[in-house]
Chains A and B, each alone.
Chain A
Amino acid sequence: MTFEDYVRVRGPALVRVARLIAGDRHLGEDLAQEVLIRAYPRWNRIVAGGRPDVYLRRMLVNAHVSWRRKRSSTEVVDGAGRVERADAADVGDLGAEAAERAAVWRLIRRLPPKQRVTIVLRYYEDLDDAAIAEILGCSPGTVRTHAMRALTTLRQHVATAEESLRWTT
């Protein structure tokens, strides 16, 4: 498959994953673009490896980690004080379920990078632990640890948010 064919067929999926990994739509598009630019000169080798999707997602993760190191991160989870509380106006505007999903997304964005990537690859790309491990360059056991910690964080905060929602309403 030529590079252009791949971008036309699989490029959108890469951009969508990049949006989630970066936690921001525009940053994600920039990230995907940068990865494709870097992949282009190596395309023959990438295709020869047989799994360009895996290779490019690995590049995506590495590029994102590299970006984060270069800029100061403001994504700090500092406990209950940062829990998004839906006030009555939010609930009224979005609806309770939409507000919950918005809160979940904000929580996912605040996860440490590898936990976030694990959640994205598991719940959006529907990959199993072995596939995620290959992309992250770790063992499936480590992937399960990332997932467990991420879900624990999300459950704690969602439960608190749900209480707040219920409390405010």
Chain B
Amino acid sequence: MDDMIATALRERAEGDIHVERLLDAVRTGVRRQRRRRFAVGFGAAAAVVALVAAAGVATAPDRRPDGRTAQPAQSGRVPLPRPPAVAGAPTAADRPEVLGSGSGLFHLDIRGTPIGWRNASWASTRGFEELRFEAAETGGDVRVLAARDPIWLGELGPGAASAAVDGLPAETVEQGGTHVVRWQPRAGIWAQVWATGEPDSAIAVAGKRIETPGSTSKLTAIALQNEKSRNVTAI
């Protein structure tokens, strides 16, 4: 019986396998997968971050000891509380030099995501800004970074692959279960998104330009990060 089973299986399994053809098919599939994740036209965006002129503060925000502005926890799809907008302040899309200018203004925002967010915090330091929040449904954290110099974003490390965000060239890499995507939304600004979690529950992230009356296109970025270091690709 055992021999019969082994022989029956061998007969069914054997046969020519064209390895180069298999490799080509895999490469094509990988490229197709990347295009699906990043192409804006396919509606893959789940969250959009706009570099906006909002996030100025008329009154002093609650600040955490680390200098971050704390936001109240919320769950589900409740709009994320944001620092109040400052009318007339230039956007980073208009003037990259305002990003991380230390003026007490924040220039990162998130819009249009279908996932619930909570516990967001903004941070700004010279030439660099960061927005962090927690994905309400998965408990993972999300991290969006924007900088005037890519040195603030750290090394991508080996194995970076090319991709596209909003039609712009980007790079993506996996680092110990954290997935990172980096691109340059406009001259003078670099954006980066971190995400960790289960690959199958990855949150697609894409960039989308937001046109508002009277302003130039705003820079957009999407970031997801899971501080629990579970694998999640989201970018």
User: A78: which B residues are within 8 A, CB to CB?
Assistant: none
CB pair A42–B199 under 8 Å, yes or no, is yes
Task: Tell whether A120 pairs with B9 under 8 Å between CB atoms, given A34-B29, A37-B26, A44-B174.
Answer: yes
Task: Tell whether A45 pairs with B176 under 8 Å between CB atoms, given A16-B13, A123-B6, A124-B13.
Answer: yes
Q: In the complex, what distance in Å separates the CA atom of A19 from the CA atom of B6?
A: 14
CB pair A101–B7 under 8 Å, yes or no, is yes
CB pair A38–B9 under 8 Å, yes or no, is no
Task: Tell whether A38 pairs with B4 under 8 Å between CB atoms, given A33-B26, A101-B11.
Answer: no
Task: Tell whether A37 pairs with B159 under 8 Å between CB atoms, given A11-B19, A105-B12.
Answer: no
A21-54 interface mask toward B, CB cutoff 8 Å, 1 = contact, 0 = none? Answer: 0000100010011101110111111000000000
Closest to B13 in A: A16
CB pair A41–B7 under 8 Å, yes or no, is no
Interface residues of B in 1-45 (CB under 8 A from A): 1-2, 4-15, 17, 19, 22-23, 25-26, 29-30, 33
Q: In the complex, what distance in Å separates the CA atom of A41 from the CA atom of B11?
A: 33
CB pair A8–B26 under 8 Å, yes or no, is no
Tell me, yes or no, whether B161 is within 8 Å of chain A by CB: yes
Tell me, yes or no, whether B225 is within 8 Å of chain A by CB: no
Q: In the complex, what distance in Å separates the CA atom of A42 from the CA atom of B179?
A: 10
Q: In the complex, what distance in Å separates the CA atom of A158 from the CA atom of B11?
A: 18
CB pair A20–B9 under 8 Å, yes or no, is yes
CB pair B15–A7 under 8 Å, yes or no, is no
Tell me, yes or no, whether B167 is within 8 Å of chain A by CB: no
CB pair B9–A41 under 8 Å, yes or no, is no
Q: Which of A17, A102, A104 has the most CB of B within 10 A?
A: A104
CB pair B25–A8 under 8 Å, yes or no, is no
CB distance from B178 to the nearest CB of A (A): 10
Q: In the complex, what distance in Å separates the CA atom of A16 from the CA atom of B23?
A: 15
CB pair A11–B177 under 8 Å, yes or no, is no
Tell me, yes or no, whether B184 is within 8 Å of chain A by CB: no
Chain A contact residues, CB within 8 Å of chain B: 4, 7-8, 11-12, 15-17, 19-20, 25, 29, 32-34, 36-38, 40-45, 100-102, 104-105, 108, 119-120, 123-124, 151, 154-155, 158
Chain B contact residues, CB within 8 Å of chain A: 1-2, 4-15, 17, 19, 22-23, 25-26, 29-30, 33, 158-159, 161, 174, 176-177, 179, 199, 231, 233
Pairs A–B under 8 Å by Cβ, sample size 21: A7-B26, A11-B17, A12-B17, A16-B13, A29-B22, A33-B25, A33-B26, A36-B22, A38-B199, A41-B199, A42-B231, A44-B158, A45-B177, A45-B231, A101-B4, A101-B11, A119-B9, A120-B9, A123-B9, A155-B1, A158-B4
